[in-house]
Amino acid sequence: GEVRRDQSIATPQLKNSQYRKIERQTRHFNPLRVPRALAAELPFKSQIVQTKKQKKETYMQKRAVMSTKEEKRAKNLMQQLTTIRNEKVAKRAAKKEEQRAAYRKKIADGE
């Protein structure tokens, strides 16, 4: 440690020894359901309020933005380009995985 400090050499760190961020899936919970008998016994302040769906369209729903033919074409073109790109990426990844499998097999045979 002292020699490294004197010569200002960084401590060697293995790539596998470094901490990685833990990626967890977001959890989705079912909505809370209270039995009717229990809900009826709750005091007024603790009553569960059920909101109903609106029967009438809201102001914003009535005034939905209508896109022109050119905008539709542009959106369609962008979607097609994105699809093509995604297919290329998937194809490239599959080929790379195939090459890795061949390499792993070669390494396993060598041992």
Mean pLDDT of the chain: 90
Residue 43 lies in a domain: no
Residue 7 lies in a domain: no
Residue 84 lies in a domain: yes
96 vs 32: which has the higher pLDDT: 96
Rounding to the nearest 10 degrees, give the CA dihedral for residues 98, 100, 103, 107.
-130
pLDDT digits (tens, 9 = 90+) for 3-45: 999 999 998 888 888 888 889 999 999 988 889 899 888 898 8
**Number of compact structural domains in the chain:** 1
Tell me, what's the pLDDT at 23?
Answer: 92
As a residue count, the chain comes to: 111
Distance, C-alpha 88 to centroid of its chain: 21
For the full predicted model, state whether its pTM sits above 0.85: no
Tell me, what's the pLDDT at 20?
Answer: 86
Residue 89 lies in a domain: yes
Q: What is the token pair recorded at 7? A: 């010569």
Is it the case that residue 50 has pLDDT exceeding 80?
A: no
Domain that holds residue 101: 69-111
Residue 42 lies in a domain: no
Residue 20 lies in a domain: no
Identify the H or E element spanning 104: helix 69-110
CB contact at 8 A, 39 and 46: no
